[in-house]
Chains A and B, each alone.
Chain A
Amino acid sequence: MGRSALRISMLGGGLAATVLLAGCGGGLLSSGDAKSSSDQGPVKLGMLTPLSGSSAAIGPYMKNGAQLAVDEINAKGGVDGRKLTLQVEDEACDAKAATAAANKLVTAGIDVSVGGYCSGATLPTLPIFAKAGVPMIIPAANSNELVEQKKPNVFMINGTGTQQGDAAMQWMKEQKATEVGLMDDNTSYSVDIANVTAGLLKQSGPPDMSGHESVTAGESDYSANVNAILKGNPDFIYWTGYYQEGGLIIRQLRQSGYDGDIMVADGSVDNKLISIAGAQNAQGVYATMTQTPDTIPGAQKWIADYKKKFNAAPGPYSTQSYDAVRLAAEAVRKAGSTDGNKVISALEGIDGFELFSGPLTFTPEHTLSKGGFQILVVKGDSFKLEDPLQ
């Protein structure tokens, strides 16, 4: 029944996507000559990001970040005189919606994909872009599963689950945790980080793993799960899912009398987590997170530009999306063409390209050589930098 629930909700997403498709028929009609030339005309970028569904809050952050980079590059004359265009489609954090949206982008003839937030929704889009020869620069999704298929067109500029697990482990050791409870939400992204961390915890020496609990996303009452995880008497709990359930779980952990440390993964870094949990419950909650605009030294000007343009503050993955577009433009410039294979070679050849997270060089697996994860902590009503883990 649980699975059929998922299926029906996917159907919902699919319907929404269909409506979108129908609404934008004009784009489909003009797609016939879309890929006619690889060395002239505009450079078309496509982005899949959640604009509806459970992670809809992230979509505008990513979309605006990417749009800012597109506008800046175009203002400077584009890539070798070719303008960038950006087409954003809704992945709804849902496999079915993402597949439909990816097909739409391919039909529209995009040259490079710069999207991907939910790992579970990004996974099924890999073969679609691979078949069309579209290089993917994934700004946010970071499950190891994305690169395990070894598709040549897939590049990740967010740290991987392995790197996040490493960072979590390092912080648990520094906090002298002895018994760690892991909680995930059964999605690709979340299970990946939890399993990596579990593997590290099982190695000899403290901290040890007191329990591993999976919850069902989208519910309100997690008291049963909270009970189960507290049975192992943990003094440190790591939640690897998204912020909506994260907020509820933190609150319910505290209500059950748990007063040990709590840490959340990057999918939970959103100020809504704090308001859902209640400010006093969320105080001192740690997070493993890649750089956000607030925690990057010297990003004030960038934040000001962003605010001026969109009349809203940047959020998680704004900078990564901005960087994905810049990286795509750089690769097309070096390749001298939007031909998929040439762009892929250019991306593999990138050496020390400056991103917000530091100089970029891809590993042979097309991931960041350095995760760049840092530890944030909840102070007041927002996440503040606690330790850069350098």
Chain B
Amino acid sequence: MTQLLWNGLFVGSFYALVALGYSMVYGIIKLLNFAHGDIYMVGAFIGFGLLTMAGSLATSAGFVSLLVVLVIVMLATGTTGLLLERVAYRPLRGAPRLSVLITAVGASFALEYGMRLIAGPNPEVYPVRLSGHTLHVLGARITLEQIGLVGIAVLLMVGLQWLVMGTGTGRAMRAISQDPKASLYMGINVNAVIARTFFIGSALAGAAGVMAGAYYGKIDFLMGFIMGLKAFTAAVIGGIGNIRGAMLGGLTLGMLESFGTAWLGGEWRDVFAFGFLILFLTLRPTGILGERVTERV
């Protein structure tokens, strides 16, 4: 039981990190950024490239080198997100919703197969792997590295919460999500704030990518696809457009999968988890925290 909870929490924190970017972008410009999962993939690959270049230095430094790489990757994927927004989405700002959605699917393919051209179609294995140091807590096997990764995820989420609720940029973001036109009249540089939102969301996804690469070890150019889908689901469960909702949705989805597998078997897991999604959409279309519609970011 504790093992199931911990497994759900661990996977859920990855889902949550990626779901945040989904949710923020949707909250602010009502765009389902299907390329968001692929930013996660790009992050994993940039991290792989950096660690490979650092070679033996990275292997000996272990967790510390990962932290350094994590920061660089967040900056890099953040910039990728900026570019994506500038190239693929900003020119379509006034276009019908459907056009932007299709552009997002196109951007997703461009990132996937662009990475395939650069890194090749074969899966790669991370040079620095996290494993070992098992603790037994209430009958569950927990590794120190897992705790470390969940800790990083929590720190990032707390940081984001502060950024959105406690800074000027955050206030601008919340204002735009309520009414972009009025925000513009109030002197907010809407394009700049939207770009910053993309930067933050993409940086979080990139962080999740490096963490997944270092923990699970295998990365490939299609890894962002399923992750994107899961993150989207998590965002919807939590209430899309809502930051705390995305965190909660990620954890909920992780738990649903963990318990679904234990109770019904692996082949029923997705039926169980996505059945819940349908239930949510029917009974509570705004998600768990969806009532806070006035404060979407």
Contacts and interface: CB of A to CB of B under 8 A. Distances in A.
Interface of A: 1-2, 5, 8-9, 12, 15-16, 51-54, 56-57, 186, 212-216, 218-221, 223-225, 227-228, 231, 244, 247-248, 251, 255-257, 272, 275-276, 278
Given A1-B229, A1-B233, A219-B226, A225 B266 contact: yes
A219 B174 CA distance: 34
Given A54-B220, A247-B218, A223 B11 contact: yes
B222 A276 contact: no
Given A54-B222, A248-B218, A216 B270 contact: yes
Given A219-B226, A221-B11, A227 B143 contact: no
B225 A228 contact: no
A2 B233 CA distance: 11
Contact of A9 (B222, B269, B270): B222
Given A2-B274, A218-B223, A221-B11, A51 B123 contact: no
Please classify the interface of chain B as helix (H, G, I), strand (E, B), loop, or mixed, using the class held by over half of its residues: helix
A228 B261 CA distance: 7
Contacts of A1: 229, 233, 270, 274, 277
A221 B226 CA distance: 12
Contacts of B261: 224-225, 227-228
The 5 A-B pairs of least Cβ separation, nearest first, read A56-B121, A224-B261, A214-B267, A2-B270, A220-B216
A215 B229 CA distance: 17
Contacts of A9: 222, 225
B30 interface: no
Given A5-B226, A5-B229, A255-B143, A276 B217 contact: yes
B277 A276 contact: no
B39 to A, nearest CB: 16
Interface residues of B, number: 44
A246 to B, nearest CB: 10
B217 A251 contact: yes
A21 to B, nearest CB: 16
Given A224-B266, A272-B122, A278-B131, A218 B226 contact: yes
19 contacts: A1-B229, A8-B225, A54-B220, A54-B222, A218-B222, A220-B218, A221-B7, A224-B11, A224-B261, A224-B266, A224-B269, A227-B4, A228-B265, A231-B262, A248-B216, A255-B141, A256-B141, A272-B122, A276-B125
Interface stretch (B89-97, B108-116, B150-158): B108-116
A213 B131 contact: no
B18 to A, nearest CB: 12
Contacts of B86: none
B118 to A, nearest CB: 14
B217 A224 contact: no
Given A51-B121, A228-B265, A278-B131, A221 B216 contact: yes
B121 A53 contact: yes
A238 to B, nearest CB: 15
A259 to B, nearest CB: 13
B85 interface: no
B128 to A, nearest CB: 12
Contacts of B266: 213-216, 224-225, 228
Contacts of A56: 121-122
B284 interface: no
Interface string B255-284: 001101110011101110010010000000
B243 to A, nearest CB: 23
Interface string B175-195: 000000000000000000000
Contacts of A15: 109
B212 interface: yes
B81 to A, nearest CB: 21
Given A220-B212, A221-B10, 5 more contacts: A213-B266, A223-B11, A223-B258, A224-B8, A255-B143
